[in-house]
Structure 1
Amino acid sequence: MGQVTGSSDHRTAAARTPAAPGRRAVRVAVATAVAALPLAAVLTTGSAAPLAPPLGACSGSDCPSAWPPPHNGDFPGRDAAVNVFTGGDYTVNGRAAEAEGKIVTLGKLTVDKNGGGVYNMGVVGVGSRVVPPNGSDFVTTGGDVDVRTGNSVLIGGSDSHGPAFGNLRHAGPVTGTVSIDPTGESIQDPDAAAPYRSVLTRIQEVSDCVGRATATGTVAVAANEATFTGDGTSMRQVFNVTRDLASPTGGQIGLVFDGIPAGATVVVNMLGDSPVINTYTGTGLAGDRTTELRSKLMYNFPTASTARILGSAQFQGSVMAGNPGGTTTIAQPGMNGRVYLAGNLIHTGTGGYEIHSYPFDGDLPDCAVTPSPSPTSPTPSPSPTSPSPTFPSPTSPSPTSPSPTSPSPTSPGPTSPGPTPTSPAPTSSAPTSPSATATTSSAAPTGHRPSGGPTSPHPGGGGELPSTGAGNASVVLGLAGVGLLGLGGLAVLAARRRGRHS
């Protein structure tokens, strides 16, 4: 049996006493609304549409008016939308440290870090610090929760105003150590994942639809940089990439976006079976072009069996993968955007690598429904047996360029070329598809690295940053050194947050 601490009620869903009316109402609304989401047939593309709740934009009554860069201060708001979704299993290994926001996995959750340590879920030490509503399900699993010996999972946290607490709702048993801040609960519920089955189908459909969109711009990949050049006018910019976004030897490169109108949605379709993105681009700070694009930037892997996102950045933008049999590996110090996978997730890395909660509020290509006529035996649409409430719409749309809560210096670019990464995922080989010819881009935005990658203390050039959790002075120095956080007072986190990742 697993050891679950800090919970006020560890009984199964069938045996526990009734929850508070407000909490029960939230759970019922979420379950019925998710189940009622339309599952449109994917046939033709043309119009645009945002992702429907519980995916995409922030939802609830306390969404922040601006999303700050990664920081360790007070919670700027609450977000009821799903930040990380996997239709398969969720595996944590290497030295991955944290995942922020509401997390749903239809499969099992396994935490098996190298050397053991804490994996924080729902609330993190350094991130957007936008957390789920109190009393909601912070983590939902459709399978077992397996926390291996020497590891532990911590759910919940606090800021200077009070706690952020939520539930672990799990269909299978819990083994290992799971600590839940009060008054969050560990709730065994055989139907825990049932409300999200339709979300899996929706992700498959949207990813397929987006992957078939016609390109509006071009991509030129050189040894040190990939340049995405838009048409300058379309409000939905689509780039179709048929090779890795990496150097010829698989090393890190920069990502540059030009010709993108203000407010446009940007889609990068990574086509192929085993695509790789290996980059040092992304800080989350003002003046960084990818920060400006983040809330409308989507990397889509429609058919990949294996997809890998590697490098040494605070990677900006959301990720979608449509193959339910696929596996996506994330090994970036910071993943700043939604992670929506029909298949499996491996969260790994050689340092305190994290997934942060940032919304996606762009308009993706929309595949219209064209029903086939069936005069002899029409199939009526099923009618629900009871009304289903809808998810709340965001009250404050996220701006394209979030304002930091405190001044942040511009990230300086290094002067030495980036070495080849050595993340736990194997380094990709040189792309087999033809490489595009390099082109001359326009002047790079502030924070853009003109050539090469960062100087890295890690052999092999992963360029990984140290952990950004609390209780570790080297974390503060490491983050300040790369210009990722221009924020003071990281040391207060140790007093504010127990058991931060190790």
Structure 2
Amino acid sequence: MKISSTISLFVLILLAPITGISAYGWNSSKAMADEIELSANINKATVSTRTLKKIIREERRFVLFNSRRLNGECLSICEAEAEAGTQNPINEPTDKPSISPTKSPTDRPSKNPTKSPTDTPSVTPTKSPTDKPSVSPTVTPTKSPTDKPSISPTKSPTASSTKSPTDKPSVTPTTSPSCKPVCDDQQENLGDGFSAATGVGGYSSEQCYPPIVQLDANNLAGIDDSVAVFVGGSYYGRRAAEVEGNMVVLGDLSVESNGPGNFVSVGVGTHVLPTSGGECIKVGGSISAARDIQVFNQVPSMYCDIVYKGSATNNNRWKTNGSVRRDANLDLSEYEKMKTVLAEKSQYWSTLPSTGQAIYESWGNPTGQTTYECGSEDVQVFNILPNEREKIEGVHTIYFSKSCLDKTILINVHGDGNRNIDAAAMHYEGKMGFGPGGFPTCITSSLLWNFPDADSVDIGNGRTSEFHGSVLITGDMTLSTSGQSGRTMVLGDIIHDSDSGSEFHSYEFNPPTSLPNPACVDESTQALTESSVKALEAPTKYESTQALTESSVKPLVSSTKSPTKSPTKSPTTASSSSAPSKCTAIPQNRLPSGSWKTTNSNCNKCKPPNNKKWWPCNLNPPICEGNCIFK
């Protein structure tokens, strides 16, 4: 019998109990019945002691053994079994499985296993990680941060700052700030609202102001809402005619019986006037009128209000289309601040060195003439020293050279005490006077007379010509000539007194080149230092033949120094016999930074029984000392 037949028979015998196939062929129904009956007769004890597994094994061995004998052939599987059978009973199963597996064998055996695992991984990594990385790490890491930056830092910083501040600034700071903190006040020249014309539809800065002419109320020359006349003290109208433009008086406003009869709008003037409907006169103290006064009322369309903080005497004599009202809470702090600003500017501008020459010629006469010879610079500065009084007090004629047109002209009149200025006729290229074709109004609007130290200034001094140009006076002012054309900035009192009639004519101060603003000066290059003051002492720094005297230098030097480190522990106590009887101005060198020297006449207002409530008696720290009462 072939080996294939034997295997087929072996399979059939294994499947016989399940499929009904016997060892000798397919069972008939009768054979199956007989076999069932035979199974039923099996002793119960035998069934209970033999397991099915044991039965299968015994039956398999029996069939295989007899199959070999019947066919006369022997399989290799049987030979081992036969040899084992000589030692072990057929009925006893072996404790070891056969060599060949019982499961379905593969048609081809797998390759021989390797003797030992390789020490290097295969090309393609296995699913499980190896003990060594499959690929060597890259030269430079990718996602993980490197120990050195990938790119060198940029030479210049980016526009926006980094999140964390660097230990060093990205940009080198500037040498010095361009402006001081107060520079944002926008106080150009005399200040916003005090210098150039302002207001909606204000007078064009491209045009020079018109000459002084008769009023045509229905055809005004333009709008100017700036302050034309500013009085840090009180205004006293004794003998005068008119005051043109907006007016602010921090003290009292008093008009006597021969005082001016027109305010704001006038019969003869430039007629560049405020916008209707505003507050054209503001008074921090009391008002009084000993006569009827026209106030911006020539036609119904012209009207404005007068506002005062103190008391009123005859307020019905102020004739206006607007109102005359008291406001106990009138806020004049803006103007109080402007006193400090203007005082600072006056002091600073007085330190500017001359760029032009003031030439005086008398030819041996009691009076002579002064010529202001302008140079090539845009800003022409002239310094009249205290020992040069003849240049302003002994002249019958004043000339401005041809080169002065289209220049900013600053004339500093140095010296304290009482200063007198001759209101001599002013000429330019043969033109004089305030009317059409007269002294150029462009020069009038570009000219500023500065009196930084004088206690009082008399503009007129016995002469009666029109005084052209704006004035900045830190002390008191008396206008004794026929008129002044320009801004009038007086930090003390104004006494309006002239036997020939006197008028303030409203002109802006709007020069072609602005004067330097001390609040915006770069201290490293422009502010007055002690070294520059020393340079002013040289005879050639001001006029070619005049030296700056020691008395005028000292106030300038003291204004640049810091205040004393600490005040004295307590004021000295004087006996009643030596107690001061006056309230006088504190010298500049003893004032703290930011305060400016005033005049003795201004401080005299603080002496009892005056008891003034306004400047300078209301300042802290005070700028006056002695027998003073401060509010």
TM-score (ref. length: structure 1): 0.59
Counterpart for residue 124 of structure 1: 266
How far apart in 1 are the matches of 2:331 and 2:519? 31
For residues 254-289 of structure 1, the C-alpha deviation after alignment (integer angstroms, 9 at most, x for no partner) is 111125354210000011112221123241245545
Work out whether 1:345 is the aligned partner of 2:494. yes
How far apart in 2 are the matches of 1:220 and 1:239? 10
- Displacement of 1:52 in angstroms is 2.6
- Displacement of 1:165 in angstroms is 1.1
Counterpart for residue 147 of structure 1: 289
Work out whether 1:304 is the aligned partner of 2:459. no
For 2:501, the aligned partner's letter is: G
Distance change >3 Å, CA 83–CA 192, structure 1 → 2: same
Identity value in percent: 27
**Which segment drifts farther, 189-198 or 126-135?**
189-198
Taking only aligned residues, the RMSD between alpha carbons, in angstroms, comes to 3.0
How far apart in 2 are the matches of 1:81 and 1:171? 21
Counterpart for residue 81 of structure 1: 226
Counterpart for residue 407 of structure 2: 264
Selected match of 1:172 from 310, 313, 327: 310
- Displacement of 1:108 in angstroms is 0.8
For 1:269, the aligned partner's letter is: N
Q: Which runs of 5+ in 2 are unaligned?
A: 1-179, 362-366, 427-432, 524-542, 547-631
Counterpart for residue 91 of structure 1: 236
For 1:212, the aligned partner's letter is: T
- Displacement of 1:327 in angstroms is 0.8
Work out whether 1:212 is the aligned partner of 2:351. yes
Selected match of 2:368 from 219, 224, 228: 224
Selected match of 1:316 from 459, 462, 468: 468
Preserved contact between residue 171 and residue 193 of structure 1 (Cα < 8 Å): no
For 2:305, the aligned partner's letter is: N
Distance change >3 Å, CA 92–CA 208, structure 1 → 2: same
Counterpart for residue 398 of structure 2: 255
How far apart in 2 are the matches of 1:39 and 1:55? 17
How far apart in 2 are the matches of 1:245 and 1:110? 35
Which one scores higher on RCO, CA 8 angstroms, separation ≥ 6? Answer: 1
Distance change >3 Å, CA 206–CA 249, structure 1 → 2: closer
How far apart in 2 are the matches of 1:133 and 1:122? 11
Aligned residue for 1:260, secondary structure, equals: helix
How far apart in 2 are the matches of 1:51 and 1:246? 26
Q: Residues 53-72 of structure 1: matches in 2 within 5 Å?
A: 53-65=192-204, 66=207, 67-72=209-214
How far apart in 2 are the matches of 1:331 and 1:142? 25
- Displacement of 1:296 in angstroms is 0.7
For 2:335, the aligned partner's letter is: Y
Preserved contact between residue 221 and residue 245 of structure 1 (Cα < 8 Å): no
How far apart in 2 are the matches of 1:180 and 1:197? 28
For residues 419-475 of structure 1, the C-alpha deviation after alignment (integer angstroms, 9 at most, x for no partner) is xxxxxxxxxxxxxxxx9989xxxxxxxxxxxxxxxxxxxxxxxxxxxxxxxxxxxxx
Distance change >3 Å, CA 241–CA 250, structure 1 → 2: closer
Aligned residue for 1:275, secondary structure, equals: strand
Higher strand fraction (1 or 2): 1
Counting matched residue pairs gives 323
For residues 90-149 of structure 1, the C-alpha deviation after alignment (integer angstroms, 9 at most, x for no partner) is 1111x2111010000111112224xx365321111110112111111111111111224x
How far apart in 2 are the matches of 1:358 and 1:263? 16
For 2:229, the aligned partner's letter is: V
For 1:120, the aligned partner's letter is: N
- Structure number with larger C-alpha Rg: 2
How far apart in 2 are the matches of 1:246 and 1:355? 25
For residues 395-442 of structure 1, the C-alpha deviation after alignment (integer angstroms, 9 at most, x for no partner) is xxxxxxxxxxxxxxxxxxxxxxxxxxxxxxxxxxxxxxxx9989xxxx
Distance change >3 Å, CA 210–CA 266, structure 1 → 2: same
- Displacement of 1:247 in angstroms is 5.9
How far apart in 1 are the matches of 2:353 and 2:439? 24
- Displacement of 1:248 in angstroms is 9.0
Aligned residue for 2:403, secondary structure, equals: coil
Counterpart for residue 137 of structure 1: 279
Counterpart for residue 247 of structure 2: 103
Distance change >3 Å, CA 201–CA 257, structure 1 → 2: same
Preserved contact between residue 286 and residue 309 of structure 2 (Cα < 8 Å): yes
Aligned residue for 1:57, secondary structure, equals: coil
How far apart in 1 are the matches of 2:445 and 2:285? 31
For 2:465, the aligned partner's letter is: A
Counterpart for residue 284 of structure 1: 434
- Displacement of 1:243 in angstroms is 4.8
For 2:311, the aligned partner's letter is: P
- Displacement of 1:305 in angstroms is 0.3
Q: Residues 39-50 of structure 1: matches in 2 within 5 Å?
A: 39=182, 49-50=188-189
Aligned residue for 1:365, secondary structure, equals: coil
Higher helix fraction (1 or 2): 2
Counterpart for residue 606 of structure 2: none
